[in-house]
Amino acid sequence: MSIYLDAADRFSDVVAATTDWSAESPCEGWTAADVVDHVIDTEREFLARHEIDAGPRPSGAPAQAWAEHLAAIRPLATDDAVTSREFDGVFGRTTIGATLDAFYGFDLVVHGWDLGTSNGRPTTFTEADMDAMEAAFEGFGDHAYDDGVFRSPVEVPQDADRQTRLLARMGRRAPVTA
Q: Which residue has the higher pLDDT, 141 or 159?
A: 159
CB-based contacts of 149, cutoff 8 Å, min separation 6: 140, 143
Domains in the chain, number: 1
CB 97 within 8 A of CB 77: yes
At 27 the pLDDT is 86
Does residue 57 lie within any of the structural domains? yes
Does residue 178 lie within any of the structural domains? no
Does residue 99 lie within any of the structural domains? yes
Does residue 55 lie within any of the structural domains? yes
Does residue 94 lie within any of the structural domains? yes
Does residue 23 lie within any of the structural domains? no
From residue 127, how far is each of 27, 130, 161, 163 by CA, in Å?
A: 23, 5, 12, 9
Q: Using 50, 70 and 90 to split pLDDT, how confident is the model at 147?
A: low
- Supply the range of the domain harboring residue 158: 3-17+28-169
Share the mean pLDDT of the chain. 90
Arithmetic mean of pLDDT, 131-157: 76
Neighbours of 26 (CB within 10 A): 23
Arithmetic mean of pLDDT, 27-37: 94
7: nearest Cα among 105, 99, 137, 132:
105
Does residue 22 lie within any of the structural domains? no
Distance CA 169, CA 134 (A): 10
Distance CA 141, CA 130 (A): 17
Q: What's the pLDDT tens digit per position in 42-87?
A: 999 999 999 999 999 999 999 999 999 999 999 999 999 999 999 9
Q: What's the pLDDT tens digit per position in 91-135?
A: 789 999 999 998 899 899 999 999 999 999 988 999 988 998 888
Q: Give the torsion through C-alpha atoms of 17, 57, 45, 102, to 10 deg.
A: 30
pTM: 0.89
